Structure 1
Amino acid sequence: MQFTSVAARTLIRDFATGGCGRTLPAGQQNGNTANVTIQSDSLTRSYLVFVPPHYNPYIPTSVIFSYHGGSRTAQSQQQLDQLTNPEFNTASLVIYPQGVNNTWQGVPGITTNDVLFTADILADVESRYCIDPHRVFVTGKSDGGGFCNVLACDPNLSSRFAAFAPVSGAYYVDTLPCNATTVNLPCSPSRHDIPMLAFHGGNDTTISYNGGERKDECLPTIPHFIEEWAARDLLSPKNTTIPIANNTVLYRYDAGLETGLVGLVYDAVIGHDWPSTAPNADNQVAGHHLASFNATPIILGFFATHPLIVL
């Protein structure tokens, strides 16, 4: 039998979801990953859920959604992002949605309603686990990074997720001809304080840092993409350049006491990779190499300092 203090019960009542106090679903245990299937938009869909070692069903827990890249899977994203590595994360639930045909809404030609799928996962997770609704975050790689932006721009889910951290994101815009430095980036977020931290490599030959036409649509330059987020968040167009590691800087946008609400981590020499100092499926491809920094702890630090503020 488990007991909770009055303070803990108050925390659950005020800051948590309906799954608080419930035992883990059958077959799940702390420190392990399980596959979950749900119905969404008349389709059977699935996601992986990692329950952290320190999960307690009476303490509201942060959640990270991590979206795989095109032609990749939920399983490969778990191996890539290292968010289930106890060296980096022992406290957050991690959700790995599986895309239909291994890709996501927002990619040219894709008609699957993955925004609805995400909302359905969120409802399912909130019913099963003790979740802190102020600390639900999103990251992803490539097509999955682009889908992070789709969610951040959604008028409903932009108010449900606290912060976003796309890696090597593919931010397609359905317009041609493509002027990558000025293309209009449609976006309808529900608030003007969305934390956005993007990562991109200068040698990315898949989703170019300089943007351009791809799959008969337009990719913005990455500086244009991040400057537009600074503008949406009512920040100054000027940024502060902060060295991170060899060949790597953070372009940080601030406003008053709000430090680092929007930022871009730019590594001049890596390609279409999840930055890591350890070998992974990206940096072991011919022509790629280890990064001089790890993106994962930077993402986790960014999330930790940017909970959802509800006034």
Structure 2
Amino acid sequence: MTVPPGDRRSSRRSVARRDRNPRWVPVTAAAGAILIIIGLVLYFGGDDPGPQTRVGQSAGTAGGPTGGPGGGPGATGPPTPAPAPTAASGCVTARTIAAGSSQQSVRVGADTRTYQLAVPAVDAHARALPLVLAFHAFGEDPAALERYAHLAEIGTTTGYVVVTPNGANGRWNFPRRATIGPDDVAFVAAIIGDLGTRMCLDTRRVFATGLADGADMAITAACALPGTFAAVVPVAFAVLPASCPGPVPSLLAINGTSDPVTPLEGGGADRPAPFDGTQAQPMQARLDRYAGSVGCGPANTWVRDTTALRRLVFTACPRGRDVGLLASVGGGHVWPDPDADPPKGAARAQFSATEVALAFFRGHPGPAPATPAPSAAGASPR
């Protein structure tokens, strides 16, 4: 969705200058089968990252390790082994990409598309790396997203490879119409496929996030490429594709309760062509439908944890999967960040969407590859 001038994302002071005062934020909690509490501690500065974000689960609930992704810097658990790589995979060929930020390109049909790549300073030969794709809002580019979200800056310090694709003409073809532009789902698939041959990626830990139209693109890619993404965190998304075949990734939506562009109740003015028909759908209906695709039970009632935070989560999701919503009370059409200068008309956020997304990703790896059953010939005699 187009971002109103009064709700542009604001700049933020450098991460290294931010304080170390911990802020604990309950992000999702599903009563009954799964209990997930994300203890959010913001850490900044130097080589000492400070207290680590942990994702805890209730006793008897299966899930991924609670440490950093894949055992990277700041991890508290062992690395998660990647699925068996293919012959062309960088995990087999030992190919790697040097740490740092660079612009990359990939061929998609007859087009050459570009994206920003940030690689963490870790031993890429030693383990498979998790990947986050982050999609910018309408009319923006990767540099704009990084200025307010700092996903590459923060993500690489905790061991993530971060990719920020560049939308054609600053927009995303999430409705998947030829009149809007090129096929951006094919673009996403090409990026993941190309990087998988040039470095060792953990295919169980591929994630997506984005703001506004970028959030809609993240959801569209996750539904159109089943089994590719393990979890998605859309910020201020508006629409859910009509079909989302399984396996469907875990999802934590983030939205402001005073968002004029993607209001929780849905509606708003329809957008002009070629995006006509993409006004915001009611959030509850979107999440009900998505949770049904995941296989979750009904949503809990709304819970107001603090004066600034509300949440809605779904019960009885399949093992290791979660669907929920974190709402910033009074928040507008922005990427939440407590240290950003709040834009006009929006309340200051009490949490960082970047830290919440990375914490959610840590706790939601994809399923482990199935162990082949022993053949009859190899079975032990009884």
TM surpasses 0.5: yes
Q: Does 1:302 align with 2:369?
A: no
- Using the alignment, how far apart are the partners of 1:37 and 1:259 within structure 2? 35
- Using the alignment, how far apart are the partners of 2:216 and 2:313 within structure 1? 20
The amino acid that maps onto 1:40 is V
Q: How is 1:52-91 mapped onto 2 (pairs within 5 angstroms)?
A: 52-86=120-154, 89-91=157-159
Which has the higher Rg, Structure 1 or Structure 2? Answer: 2
Gaps of 5+ in 2: 1-77, 371-382
The amino acid that maps onto 2:256 is G
Alpha-carbon spacing, 1:13–1:249, altered in 2? closer, same or farther (3 Å): closer
3-state DSSP of counterpart to 1:190 = coil
1:129 to 199, 212, 225: 199
Given that 1:210 and 1:220 are in contact with CA atoms closer than 8 Å, whether structure 2 keeps it comes out as: yes
3-state DSSP of counterpart to 2:151 = coil
The amino acid that maps onto 2:354 is T
Give the TM-score taking structure 2 as reference length.
0.67
Alpha-carbon spacing, 1:103–1:256, altered in 2? closer, same or farther (3 Å): closer
Given that 2:83 and 2:204 are in contact with CA atoms closer than 8 Å, whether structure 1 keeps it comes out as: no
Report the equivalent of 1:186.
Answer: 242
Alpha-carbon spacing, 1:250–1:260, altered in 2? closer, same or farther (3 Å): farther
The amino acid that maps onto 2:246 is S
- Using the alignment, how far apart are the partners of 1:190 and 1:61 within structure 2? 24
Gaps of 5+ in 1: 1-7, 173-184
Report the equivalent of 2:114.
Answer: 46
The amino acid that maps onto 1:301 is A
Deviations along 1:99-122, one digit per CA (max 9) or x if unpaired, are 001111125752320000001001
Give the TM-score taking structure 1 as reference length.
0.81
Report the equivalent of 1:214.
Answer: 270
Given that 2:95 and 2:200 are in contact with CA atoms closer than 8 Å, whether structure 1 keeps it comes out as: no
- Using the alignment, how far apart are the partners of 1:56 and 1:268 within structure 2? 41
Report the equivalent of 1:267.
Answer: 328
- Using the alignment, how far apart are the partners of 1:88 and 1:118 within structure 2? 20
Q: Does 1:145 align with 2:215?
A: yes
Provide the identity percentage: 25
Higher relative contact order (CA 8 A, sep 6+): 2
3-state DSSP of counterpart to 1:140 = strand
3-state DSSP of counterpart to 2:152 = coil
Alpha-carbon deviation of 1:34?
Answer: 0.5
Alpha-carbon deviation of 1:245?
Answer: 4.7
Given that 2:299 and 2:312 are in contact with CA atoms closer than 8 Å, whether structure 1 keeps it comes out as: no
The amino acid that maps onto 1:170 is A
Alpha-carbon deviation of 1:244?
Answer: 5.2
- Using the alignment, how far apart are the partners of 1:87 and 1:96 within structure 2? 12
Report the equivalent of 1:99.
Answer: 167
Given that 1:211 and 1:222 are in contact with CA atoms closer than 8 Å, whether structure 2 keeps it comes out as: yes
